[in-house]
Amino acid sequence: MTARLNERSEPDISGLRIDGDRLWASLMQLARIGATEKGGVCRLALTDLDGQGRDLVRRWATELGCTVRVDAIGNLFMRRAGTRDDLPPVMAGSHIDTQPTGGKFDGNYGVLAGIEVLRTLNERGIRTEAPLEVVAWTNEEGSRFVPVMMGSGVFAGAFTLEHALAQRDREGVSVAEALDRIGYAGRQPDGPVPVRAYFEAHIEQGPVLEAHDTVIGAVQGALGQRWYDVIIQGQEAHAGPTPMAMRRDALLAAARLIQSVNDIALRHAPHGRGTVGWIDSFPNSRNVIPGRVRLTVDLRAADDQVLDAMDQALAQACSELGEGGGLSVSLEPVVYFPPQAFDPELVGLVGEYAERLSYSVMPVISGAGHDAVYLARVAPSAMIFVPCKNGISHNEVEDAQPDHLEAGCNVLLHAMLRIAGVGAIDRSAS
């Protein structure tokens, strides 16, 4: 028996909750595909293991009555029809590819939280007005193929399908070939795909929520990023016979630059970030003054003006390093992601439902890139962060608490319902 909604009776769904145990069980089941000995997951994009993970998630969606569509870059859309199926869908998603030494939650949580929302609605006989879609984006991690966030990037028009399909891994296998091999080379839709709203639940991958003992992060947006390659050329020389005043020590110069990068970030608080993550010193011998150092710089900021100021400060620091000391410094930009604000209405809903559900909540900013950052270019988008243990991700010890994952999924459920609207409730459902 289906109760048609009318103007007079709004259904009370405020008590609706997902099943945290079921969500956890699904996470653990998916994590077995590519499981590592240390408790992590290695399921690189478009490998056979990725294919098996996709098959499992697709089967779960099909069992829920979803229709499945795969586009030409392999993005997997699992659609639950709405009572007004012509409306643009309300989406939830993320990715199920992992880093080589990845964890069980990064990406996987966002996809399986979406599946859990659908299971909950099925169980309770709730049909939404707008259709719902759970999506698994192709190759978010970028470990096997670059660019990162490939599937969502193609979807949002950040780069072309052709560009993405032509990328090759270290063995020379192209994205197109890899998609074909695992059976996920789909068909591109004829026109643009309108999206009413996109939600992505994700572990924070940072330490802020944990440090504030807070369960839900209402993500305001994502930091912009500028990445660089730096080469400092000095003169290698024997450490003993070369007086201090006659040295052109590339590692000493690198040390100064590393401190400058840190200072630049501190001067652009609270969201400015600066990291030298990779360094290579030549010839790297105990009693030889280093003659050449290569290093990377990663600058981030919430605002493009700030990011530009940091960029200029870095160029200035490199320029000063080269002056007078007989060193040459080359600074090459290699990546730029603009800062991306999320949709204020959707971000507001995340905060509102966290409070209604009595979860502690705080506004946060995403320091990392996510599929939602590309989606935000073409649709109202928001993210829901939950804490991860010690802020660690991209690591086999990545961990998250079941009750936190459950909380984030409940917020996702209610935020999606609010946007999609409740179309009908089958009272006979359990």
Point out which residues bind a copy of itself (CB under 8 A): 204-208, 211, 223, 225, 227, 236-244, 246, 249, 251-252, 254-256, 258-259, 262, 265-266, 269-270, 272-281, 284-290, 296, 298, 300, 366-369, 391-395
| Minimum distance from residue 284 beta carbon to a copy of itself (Å) | 5
Distance CA(406)–CA(105), nearest Å, equals: 13
| Minimum distance from residue 101 beta carbon to a copy of itself (Å) | 9
Of the two residues 309 and 368, which places its CB atom closer to a copy of itself in the complex? 368
Of the two residues 103 and 131, which places its CB atom closer to a copy of itself in the complex? 103
| Minimum distance from residue 7 beta carbon to a copy of itself (Å) | 45
What does the chain come to in residues? 430
Q: How many CB atoms lie within 10 A of CB 236?
A: 17
Q: Under a CB-based contact definition with an 8 Å cutoff, are residues 204 and 391 in contact?
A: yes
Residue in the structure block whose two tokens are 């000493």? 252
Q: How many CB atoms lie within 10 A of CB 246?
A: 11
Distance CA(143)–CA(155), nearest Å, equals: 20
Of the two residues 82 and 291, which places its CB atom closer to a copy of itself in the complex? 291
Amino acid code (one letter) for 107: G
| Minimum distance from residue 344 beta carbon to a copy of itself (Å) | 22
- Enumerate the β-bridge partners of residue 231: 294, 330
Of the two residues 258 and 424, which places its CB atom closer to a copy of itself in the complex? 258
Classified as helix, coil or strand, 134 is: strand
The token pair at 51 is 């294919």
Of the two residues 239 and 362, which places its CB atom closer to a copy of itself in the complex? 239
| Minimum distance from residue 339 beta carbon to a copy of itself (Å) | 12
CB-neighbour burial class of residue 147 (10 A; exposed 0-12, middle 13-18, buried 19+) = middle
Classified as helix, coil or strand, 204 is: coil
| Minimum distance from residue 285 beta carbon to a copy of itself (Å) | 5
Of the two residues 88 and 367, which places its CB atom closer to a copy of itself in the complex? 367
Residue in the structure block whose two tokens are 């270019």? 377
